[in-house]
Amino acid sequence: MASALDMKRGLLGLGATLLMAVLVFFGTGLQPFWPLIWFAPLPVLLFAHRASWWGAALAAGFGVMLGILNLWGMFRGLLHAPWPILLQIYLSEGIAYALAVCLYRALLRRSAYWSALLSVPMALVSFEYLLNITSPHGTAGSLAYSQLDFLPFLQLAAVTGPWGLSFLVLSFSTALAIGIHLYPTAPSQALRIGGAVAVVLILVLTLGTVRLFAHQPGPEVKVGLVASDGMDRVNDDVLDPGTPADKLFAQYAASVRILAAQGVQAVVLPEKIAVVLDQTEAGTDAIFQKLADEIRVVIVVGELRIRHEDQPDLKKRYNEARVYVPGQPPQSYDKEHMLPPFESNLTPGDSLTMLSRNDAIWGVEICKDMDFTPLSADYGRKGVGLMLVPAWDFVADWRFHGHIAILRGVESGFSIVRSAKGGSVYVSDDRGRVLAETKTDAAPFTTLVATVPSGHDATLYDSLGDWFAWLSLLALAALLLRLVMIWRGPAP
């Protein structure tokens, strides 16, 4: 009899693990279907009600690790992550989910239902935030990015950043699991818990819908984007100085001139078009500064710049965006957040680059900078309403990574003009709406023209930063203290 019961429980655990894995696999990743992740933890949480602690932990840990195999091709094939890093990624996710479900189980079995409701979301949001401040990939692993197509919900980021989005997604499954557990014996308690989460969700979606109908302030700007997946992607490297690089810059300049004829006020080119040396800087600047002065258009050019520092034999390499403003000396922005191992030999920048145009403030970031919340929040606090972003993606991740930047605009109140080779060129507003987008494999030189609001819309996240993440950490500490206090109580 006992063996039959163990077999049944084992099969239930296997089923819960596999169902969670399927929901995570298709609810996150390169092309997520956003509704699925709202239900992803539910099978394992239901199984945890009657499972042993280790059974619940194994189901949760393996469920999420199997689910995020959807990113294996990117981790291993595109980023060439070594095995120790892969092991760290998968084990850390598995352990975090296992511990969160064990905390939930312990609180639930001791009738601490409201604490159990907060346990999974607070634990996993805390994990996301700690990963954000310790990982070179910032927020890239957050569940929030699975919700980029759910625009009314996405507006919550203007208040809480990505952390509030993850919290509510996880709260939904947790409330359902507790409600299903309690309803047969305590229906009123089940309804109170489910109702509390439902009220918060309705409020968030209502306010989010209202925000979508409110217009972003400031003047509209006509912008152009151009990117090429052609000769600048030879061997997936950056062109060295010389004739091919000069030819490529000239081709980009010709595309900019064509866009200027359509009335654009700014044009953004991709990241790291070619290597530029100190001694060749004057030539590159002459091309684009002369062009900017002539056509009266701001031009942002991504390049890999090698500078001689104080000593003649000391060279530093920078991932730089060169900004050409009509009638002004060229400005520079140096990328702050590098992609390891590809950019580990580059020197990070440490300053913002802004320009005042048409009664608005424009800012500049580069590609991976937008995986991190603090830099964009700094720009937001300076009143930036339009962000110009040269970038370079890996083709397959054009949506997964390319669209991460959209959430920064919602959080910090600015529109985004992002031009990426190996991905897409797109324009989004500060509500997270993609106003125009074209894949960069559409033509030898893909171009896009769009009109975008350029005024800054102040947000609570601008003012308070990662307050919700810190609240989650404090709440998690309180939940652990609560568990210690009730540990000696009866556990059915």
Across the range 63-83, mean pLDDT stands at 90
Q: Helix or strand or coil: residue 12? A: helix
Closest CA to 173 of 63, 248, 69, 84: 63
**Encoded tokens for 380:** 């937001």
Give the integer Cα–Cα distance in Å for 212 and 215: 8
Other Cβ atoms less than 10 A from the Cβ of 313: the count is 6
What pLDDT sits at residue 279?
A: 56
State the chain's mean pLDDT as an integer: 92
State percent of the chain over pLDDT 70: 93
Choose the weakest-confidence range: 19-28, 233-242, 248-257.
233-242
Paired sense of beta strands 360-364 and 384-392, if any? parallel
Residue that the structure tokens 């979606």 belong to: 205
What pLDDT sits at residue 6?
A: 65
What pLDDT sits at residue 443?
A: 87
What pLDDT sits at residue 281?
A: 55
pLDDT at 476 over 60: yes
Give the integer Cα–Cα distance in Å for 33 and 35: 6
pLDDT at 119 over 70: yes
The pLDDT confidence band at residue 146, using thresholds 50, 70 and 90, is very high
pLDDT at 74 over 50: yes
Q: Helix or strand or coil: residue 138? A: coil
pLDDT at 10 over 90: no
Give the integer Cα–Cα distance in Å for 94 and 331: 45
Helix (H) or strand (E) holding 209: helix 187-213
Distances (CA, A) of 329 to 277, 282, 289, 346, 421: 18, 12, 8, 25, 27
pLDDT at 349 over 90: yes
pLDDT at 489 over 80: no
First to last CA, the chain: 21
The pLDDT confidence band at residue 337, using thresholds 50, 70 and 90, is very high
Give the integer Cα–Cα distance in Å for 447 and 262: 12
Other Cβ atoms less than 10 A from the Cβ of 384: the count is 27
The pLDDT confidence band at residue 13, using thresholds 50, 70 and 90, is confident
Other Cβ atoms less than 10 A from the Cβ of 428: the count is 27
What pLDDT sits at residue 235?
A: 38
* Tens-digit pLDDT profile for residues 213-242: 998 888 999 999 999 986 444 335 787 777
Closest CA to 233 of 423, 426, 30, 425: 423
Across the range 422-431, mean pLDDT stands at 96
Choose the weakest-confidence range: 6-10, 154-158, 331-335, 473-477.
6-10
Cα-flanking dihedrals φ and ψ of residue 335, to 5°? -55, 135
Closest CA to 178 of 111, 85, 94, 91: 111
pLDDT at 182 over 60: yes
Architecture of domain 220-456: 4-Layer Sandwich (3.60)
Residue 245: partners with Cβ closer than 8 Å, 6 or more residues away: 239, 273, 274, 275
pLDDT at 430 over 80: yes
Across the range 319-347, mean pLDDT stands at 94
**Encoded tokens for 279:** 């001694």
The pLDDT confidence band at residue 312, using thresholds 50, 70 and 90, is low
Q: How far is CA 6 from the centre of its chain?
A: 42
Cβ proximity of 280 and 249 under 8 Å: no
**Sheet containing 354-357: order of strands:** 354-357, 360-364, 384-392, 415-421, 424-428, 434-439
The amino acid that residue 305 corresponds to is R
Distances (CA, A) of 110 to 56, 104, 265, 295: 16, 10, 63, 71
Choose the weakest-confidence range: 79-83, 381-385, 408-412.
79-83
Angle at 68 (CA atoms; ends 64, 69), nearest 5 degrees: 120
Paired sense of beta strands 384-392 and 415-421, if any? parallel
Cα-flanking dihedrals φ and ψ of residue 166, to 5°? -60, -40
* Tens-digit pLDDT profile for residues 89-115: 999 999 999 999 999 999 999 999 999
Burial class, 483, CB count within 10 angstroms (exposed 0-12 / middle 13-18 / buried 19+): middle
Burial class, 213, CB count within 10 angstroms (exposed 0-12 / middle 13-18 / buried 19+): exposed
Cβ proximity of 170 and 474 under 8 Å: no
Give the integer Cα–Cα distance in Å for 142 and 135: 12
Angle at 439 (CA atoms; ends 434, 440), nearest 5 degrees: 130
